[in-house]
């Protein structure tokens, strides 16, 4: 157990210094002994960071403590308040992690006080659900309070794994995987109650019968009708969820593009695993790509602030800023403006993000209002049982147990 705590400490220190660490996490995860405890500790500290700091700070005269000590206190406080592990053992283990003797007494004293008092219910909504205060206030400026509360509540819960069934090979009704059931909204999705082995080792995955993909993402290609042999571009395609889904739905001439060479390799592997063949695989910046072809449909799942992925990536909440929302919106506007030139007249651009900002959603697509017609997709979403916020340009999905916040806007080209 001690070695697991050391790995967790080092990983959390790395995260708080440099941001997202999914690759490092899964690498570290393969070495730990108590995997369930380790995963719960890492993601628990990330999910409850604002609340943990609030508790810790109430016992500190000087709030400016070294990041290493802050990390140890977060780890200890989370275990005391949210696990059944004996408090005395937690305190001793955390003190042992402290390298500087001058701080051992501080860690010992703070954690002992917290163990005596226990959980305290804060009044402020951002502390109750442990989100950055500025972000909650920002959401209040354009979202209804019921949406915000639902999102905050669900962000404290791990997201169950979902997968898409390859209907080219098998009907969903014929998929028999233990601990799985049908998704509530996607007609081609399944959700796992728990996964007790490496998900990449499932025979159904190896044989191309399923593809791991969020339920929200599964919905996007289902909102349009594809005709055989029409030309379709997925401009920001990696890791390939929507692109492979499109070819499972219809035999189209699919062009896929992504800016990162490493992610292109992932795309190629997915097409090979599913025995699907795109017409072309491209490796360009979508802001600058120049194509000679014209397309009936262009899918643009743009790079975004990814706030809708917080259930799976809780650290995303603390590495964003309003300035970054503006920066990303400018990139998104350049992408759709550049690709608009290659969309046929009356063709469809399908714009989507996995974030919850007005800059990257409504404010990005409304630049096309003089050039296109925004399709009203509300009836389609209701047929899938999806609750949404409609802003006149697109829809923001309400989150639930398996559906994550996702924005989609579909624009029919009227003018160049």
| Residues acting as catalytic residues | 354
Answer yes or no: is 304 a known binding residue: no
Answer yes or no: is 96 a known binding residue: no
Answer yes or no: is 189 a known binding residue: no
DSSP 8-state symbol, 401: S
In whole angstroms, give the CA distance from residue 69 to residue 42.
16
Estimate to the nearest angstrom the gap between the alpha carbon of 303 and the chain centroid.
12
CB atoms within 10 A of CB 328: 22
| Extended beta strands in 176-327, E state | 180-182, 189-192, 210-212, 231-234, 253-257, 280-282, 295-301
Answer yes or no: is 385 a known binding residue: no
Question: Which sign does the torsion angle of CA 10, 15, 21, 25 carry?
Answer: positive
Answer yes or no: is 225 a known binding residue: no
DSSP-assigned states of every residue in 5-47: HHHHHHHHHHHHHHS--HHHHHHHHTT-S-HHHHHHHHHHHHH
Answer yes or no: is 285 a known binding residue: yes
Q: What residues contact 254, with CB distance under 8 A and at least 6 apart?
A: 232, 233, 234, 243, 246, 247, 278, 279
Answer yes or no: is 237 a known binding residue: yes
Answer yes or no: is 122 a known binding residue: no
Q: Which residues are annotated as a binding site for S-adenosyl-L-methionine?
A: 236-242, 258, 285, 301
Q: Which residues are annotated as a binding site?
A: 236-242, 258, 285, 301
């Amino acid at each position: 157990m001690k070695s697991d705590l050391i790995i967790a400490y080092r990983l959390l220190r790395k995260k708080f210094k440099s941001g997202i660490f999914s690759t490092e996490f899964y690498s570290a995860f393969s070495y730990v002994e108590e995997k369930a405890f380790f995963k719960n500790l890492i993601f628990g500290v990330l999910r409850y960071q604002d609340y943990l700091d609030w508790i810790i700070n109430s016992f500190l005269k000087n709030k400016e403590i070294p990041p290493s000590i802050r990390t140890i206190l977060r780890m200890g406080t989370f275990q005391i308040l949210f696990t059944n592990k004996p408090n005395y053992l937690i305190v001793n283990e955390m003190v042992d992690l402290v390298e500087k003797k001058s701080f051992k007494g501080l860690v010992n004293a703070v954690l002992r006080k917290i163990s005596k008092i226990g959980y305290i219910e804060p009044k402020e909504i951002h502390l109750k659900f442990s989100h950055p205060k500025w972000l909650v206030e920002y959401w209040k400026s354009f979202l209804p309070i019921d949406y915000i509360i639902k999102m905050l509540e669900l962000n404290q819960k791990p997201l169950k794994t979902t997968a898409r069934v390859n209907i080219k090979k098998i009907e969903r009704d014929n998929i028999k995987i233990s601990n799985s059931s049908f998704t509530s909204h996607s007609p081609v999705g399944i959700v796992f109650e728990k996964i007790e082995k490496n998900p990449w080792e499932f025979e159904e995955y190896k044989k191309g019968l399923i593809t791991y993909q969020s339920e929200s993402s599964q919905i996007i290609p289902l909102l349009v009708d594809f005709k055989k042999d029409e030309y379709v571009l997925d401009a920001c395609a990696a890791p390939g969820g929507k692109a492979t889904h499109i070819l499972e739905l219809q035999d189209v001439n699919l062009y896929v593009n992504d800016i990162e060479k490493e992610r292109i390799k992932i795309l190629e592997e997915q097409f090979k695993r599913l025995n699907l063949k795109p017409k072309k695989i491209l490796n360009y910046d979508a802001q600058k790509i120049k194509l000679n072809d014209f397309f009936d449909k262009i899918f643009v799942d743009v790079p975004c602030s990814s706030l809708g992925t917080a259930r799976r990536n809780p650290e995303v909440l603390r590495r964003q800023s309003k300035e970054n929302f503006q920066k990303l919106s400018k990139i998104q506007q350049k992408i759709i403006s550049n690709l608009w030139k290659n969309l046929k007249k009356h063709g469809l651009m399908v714009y989507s993000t996995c974030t919850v900002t007005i800059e990257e959603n409504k404010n990005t697509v409304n630049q096309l209002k003089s050039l296109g017609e925004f399709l009203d997709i509300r009836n389609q979403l209701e047929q899938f049982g999806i609750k949404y916020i409609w802003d006149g340009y697109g829809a923001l999905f309400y989150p639930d147990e398996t559906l994550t916040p996702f924005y989609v806007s579909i624009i029919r080209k009227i003018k160049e």
